[in-house]
Structure 1
Amino acid sequence: MATLKLRRIAIDTYKENVAYLHRDCATYRSEGFQALSKIEVHNLRDTHPVVAVLNIVDDANIVAPGELGLSEQVFAQLALPEGHEVTVAHATPPDSLRAVHRKIYGETLSYDDYANILQDILGNRYSKIEMAAFLVACAENGMEREEILSLTQAMVNTGERLDWDTPLVVDKHCIGGIPGNRTTMLIVPIVAAHGMWMPKTSSRAITSPAGTADTMEVLAQVNVEPDKLRQILHHESAFLAWGGTARLAPADDILIAVERPLSLDSRGQMVASILSKKVAAGSTHLLIDIPVGPTAKVRSHNEAMHLRKLFEYVGDSMGLQLEVVITDGSQPIGRGIGPVLEARDIMQVLHNDPQAPADLREKALQLAGRILEFDSDVRGGQGYHLARDILQSGRALVKMQAIIAAQGANPVTYAPAQLQYEVLATHSGTVNMIDNLQLAQIARLAGAPLDKQAGVDLHKKLGDRVERGDVLYTIHAEFLSDFNFAKAAATQHSGYQIGATT
């Protein structure tokens, strides 16, 4: 078999292995490869190949005939120098694809099916197209609750599992869909100031303008190694970090990378994703927040109750003590939508600033109170008052400052992006509806969360009286193209409904 010389192609293909061959390469012609087919790259001295998706190029400046180009991710996996000789062959389709096909046709899959699929995904044996087929099949055909449990268990078993060697490790998760709503960054310092352990590993945004990790990154480092996180937990009782560095349910991180551009967030995948991360992170007690509203992720109380039962079934089966609360999702929580604006709201609440958004403060206290009641020394019904005392006394602020310092304070001081557009009320009346989805979309078009300074700053909330020409919200963008996209979307539909004052 002819050999090819490795060439490093400086392209970040984000969790997908990609290889490049020149169209005039003899190997390309003789082996009958096609663009987007999968190939195995063999080191001549190693029997374990690396699998990649093949791209064909016509520019010898990128890859010359006789060379094999590899994207950054594959090059790092292969760990060979440029110029090293390798061979390529057609990749053998993973056996687990048969299970994906069965799911596409509506069959129920077993734990072994899901475990094999995830192992092949981790082994880079799936293209993004095949992963998308798996995700869509699960979303469209639905998953029985036993399937969701199997997927959750398989996700946990694909990575590492933390053990904090203590009987009470608490966590909280909101299923999302509500812009702002950054209660976690208030709950963690309140709970930690009480002395309960809350090792908070959070994800980055999938379909929202910011995730907890995106917003925390405005204040502190979130890519923290597990050993350092353990030290921080022992000193501060909590941390707020991105979960990717800890290799907790790593197959889920790969699937999330496919879900994000598809804006796909099916119920079964969501439950498995959330609970696998919590179990792998060593949580023993978990509070789940399900916001319900006409433009939230969950639209009806019946749907929320069904989701609650799924969480409770899988959580109980995984050994979690789990409580689910159903909250108001009729509008954004807080004023800021986007990492910098949300971080501002959080620090205002922690500083007991009179200008702090009252709804964000109140919801955080309610949820923190429920978590504090996981402590057997806190009587039922007393959690809220304890949380409020911790916040008002300044203890929560001191704890947050300590967590930021321990993780490494961000040396960059961010301010809201300078390109600004004010969206005005077209007539007088009372705000009687705010479209969560539209405002999240406008914030994302403005550049959030990748541009941390971008987003939407709300000036009016439900029930507020407005006059014609009043500012409803301000769009912030860093780049002119994003600014124009967001402005056009807001002009077409502001996301606000203003009715006659009663």
Structure 2
Amino acid sequence: MKLRRVAIDTYHENVAYLHRDCAVYRAEGFQALSKVEVKANGREILATLNVVDDTSIVGCDELGVSEDAFAQLEVPDGHPASVSQAEPPESIPALFRKINGERLGREDFRSIVQDIADRRYSKIELTAFVVASNRSELDREEVYFLTEAMIASGRRLDWREPLVVDKHCIGGIPGNRTSMLVVPIVAAYGLVFPKTSSRAITSPAGTADTMEVLANVELPFDRMTEIVRQHRGCLSWGGTADLSPADDVLISVERPLSIDSPGQMVASILSKKIAAGSTHLVLDIPIGPTAKVRSMPEAQKLRRLFEYVAQRLHLSLDVVITDGRQPVGRGVGPVLEARDVMQVLENDPDAPNDLRQKSLRLAGRLIECSPDVRGGDGFAIARDILDSGRALARMEAIIHAQGDKAFDWKHPSLGKLQLEVRAPRAGVVTGIDNLQVAQIARLAGAPKVRAAGVDLRCKLGDVVSEGDVLYRVHASYPADLEFARQATVRHSGYRIGSADEVPQVFVEF
């Protein structure tokens, strides 16, 4: 059959297309959503079959494949290809046992994760695994087995350094671009900090999306390692490194279902960090009314699980519990967040102080991983590196090495369409809903439209008069602005009250 590229993005799922009147489809007894094996030029992939009735999509003598699948086969349009029914994944019996609520062992998880990494699971089977693991919560030994299996499913980097540091936040806080400040500070101190970050899936911007405003983030693996060896750090997209590939597939199911169970979160984060060659990790767990973690007991329980698995895998872990009551910084969206980062690096008097302080404290904790630094001295060292301009110089060097995008942070190019959301009455800002602010920024177009997002003018505890601007929404397209406007009418994300209603939070910094 002739291979045909079908220009459909199926998001981490290989999909094949056959016409209903195709002789092969009729002869082989294929069914829609069954798993098939596609071979072309010595390469083979597994794909989920879709059946079409329109010859303009796939002809009777053609085998269509989705964008992801076509890229993996690495052959031109029209190349000869074959298709056959795929054998069921060997790990299916283990999957059924987990669906029944049974506890799985090390080999069970290795089998399941390898089949996931090899794309032998359909979206239905992936969903069954994610939901079953969430419903009958994985015990800590199972989380360790799952993490170990996810590490083994892909590449594992070795930097040939005794100390390789990393920092990660469990997410859920808009504008929290501390990584883009921590990396240049810590790299300027001299520690190796190869930061591979993700793109946004359900948030208004991931670290990779914001860094892409400043520099190229899709780096070939060899170029990434070269930059790290030369500058002691990088800020790149992790999709090119093949680190814990099963995690990327699982995330494609977890995020649409809004499932973020503790066990899967621990396995996802630690597998990526260990596969990236990290020896020391600072983990940020924000707590707040609209954060992923809502209370200190919940945060402490999650911390213990992280620490148990990290200790079993010989990763030095420092967990910090931080303030997650509101967004960090002012900007929510790639360009706005990049502006905030550069303001802090430039020591601009208008730089958001909460972003600066949190970044300094996280950088200080990482610097204290060095045997030459006494505990408690890291913050002052980090502050000196930032204040002296050494962090800015290191960031500029990393940006230049990755490919400078010539971003003008003093006059950022924002979406020309604006909407101002104002205080309905006088009082004090007593609540900011992280989830709603993030949703409004996404409806405005972020992160796909980099210039879109939300620019916060007021934070918790600020005194406002009736009609004061709480935040501005930036969009580039009328439809996006209208979607965002409707969301602000339903719920602005802000609560106005009296000073004694501002929620307190106990953090470890």
Scaled to the shorter chain, the TM-score interval is over 0.9
Contact 2:180 2:341 in 1 (8 A): yes
Amino acid aligned to 1:282: G
Superposition deviation, residue 77 in structure 1 = 3.4
1:97/1:478 CA distance change after superposition, 3 Å: farther
SS at match of 2:487: helix
1:327-363 deviation digits (Å, cap 9, x = unpaired): 1111111001111111100000011101000111111
Q: Which residue of 2 aligns with 1:182?
A: 177
The aligned runs of 1:205-354 (5 Å cut-off) are 205-354=200-349
SS at match of 2:36: strand
Contact 1:206 1:263 in 2 (8 A): no
Superposition deviation, residue 257 in structure 1 = 2.3
Of residues 266-275 and 346-355 in structure 1, the stretch that sits farther from structure 2 once superposed is 266-275
Q: Which residue of 2 aligns with 1:435?
A: 433
SS at match of 1:39: strand
Superposition deviation, residue 85 in structure 1 = 4.5
- Unaligned regions of 5+ residues in structure 2, if any? 501-509
1:428/1:105 CA distance change after superposition, 3 Å: same
Q: Which residue of 2 aligns with 1:38?
A: 35
Q: d(CA) in 1 for partners of 2:256 and 2:342?
A: 31
Q: Which residue of 1 aligns with 2:12?
A: 15
Q: Which residue of 2 aligns with 1:392?
A: 387
Amino acid aligned to 1:185: M
Contact 1:41 1:88 in 2 (8 A): yes
| Pairing partner for 2:452 from 451, 454, 468 | 454
Amino acid aligned to 1:316: Q
Superposition deviation, residue 475 in structure 1 = 1.0
Contact 1:428 1:468 in 2 (8 A): yes
Contact 1:12 1:72 in 2 (8 A): yes
Q: d(CA) in 1 for partners of 2:389 and 2:48?
A: 54
| Pairing partner for 1:146 from 141, 145, 155 | 141
Q: d(CA) in 2 for partners of 1:402 and 1:184?
A: 16
SS at match of 2:160: coil
Amino acid aligned to 1:39: V
| Pairing partner for 2:46 from 47, 51, 56 | 51
| Pairing partner for 1:157 from 152, 160, 183 | 152
Superposition deviation, residue 119 in structure 1 = 1.5
1:352-395 deviation digits (Å, cap 9, x = unpaired): 10100011111111111111111111122111111111111111
Amino acid aligned to 1:249: S
Contact 1:206 1:259 in 2 (8 A): no
1:215/1:134 CA distance change after superposition, 3 Å: same
Q: d(CA) in 2 for partners of 1:270 and 1:374?
A: 24
Q: d(CA) in 2 for partners of 1:411 and 1:8?
A: 35
Superposition deviation, residue 10 in structure 1 = 3.0
1:448-487 deviation digits (Å, cap 9, x = unpaired): 2222111111000000001111110111122222221111
Percent identity over paired residues: 63
Contact 2:14 2:66 in 1 (8 A): yes
Q: d(CA) in 2 for partners of 1:470 and 1:340?
A: 24
Are residues 1:6 and 2:27 paired?
no
Superposition deviation, residue 129 in structure 1 = 2.1
Superposition deviation, residue 7 in structure 1 = 2.6
Q: d(CA) in 2 for partners of 1:166 and 1:27?
A: 54
Are residues 1:28 and 2:25 paired?
yes
SS at match of 2:473: strand
Q: Which residue of 2 aligns with 1:417?
A: 415
1:78/1:405 CA distance change after superposition, 3 Å: closer
TM-score, normalization: structure 2? 0.94
Q: d(CA) in 1 for partners of 2:24 and 2:128?
A: 30
1:383/1:78 CA distance change after superposition, 3 Å: closer
Q: Which residue of 2 aligns with 1:500?
A: 498
SS at match of 1:163: coil
1:180-219 deviation digits (Å, cap 9, x = unpaired): 1111111111111111111111112233211111111111
Superposition deviation, residue 74 in structure 1 = 2.5
Q: Which residue of 2 aligns with 1:476?
A: 474
SS at match of 1:21: strand
Q: Which residue of 1 aligns with 2:505?
A: none
Q: d(CA) in 2 for partners of 1:370 and 1:77?
A: 41
Q: d(CA) in 1 for partners of 2:359 and 2:234?
A: 17
SS at match of 1:325: strand
The aligned length equals 497
Contact 1:18 1:55 in 2 (8 A): yes
Q: d(CA) in 2 for partners of 1:462 and 1:254?
A: 37
Contact 1:428 1:500 in 2 (8 A): no
1:25-71 deviation digits (Å, cap 9, x = unpaired): 2222333322222222355x86x753211111111122122322222
TM-score, normalization: structure 1? 0.95
Q: d(CA) in 2 for partners of 1:210 and 1:37?
A: 35
Q: Which residue of 1 aligns with 2:198?
A: 203
Q: d(CA) in 2 for partners of 1:81 and 1:420?
A: 44
Contact 2:423 2:467 in 1 (8 A): yes
1:242-284 deviation digits (Å, cap 9, x = unpaired): 1111111111112222223223322111111111111111111
Are residues 1:404 and 2:399 paired?
yes
Amino acid aligned to 1:265: D
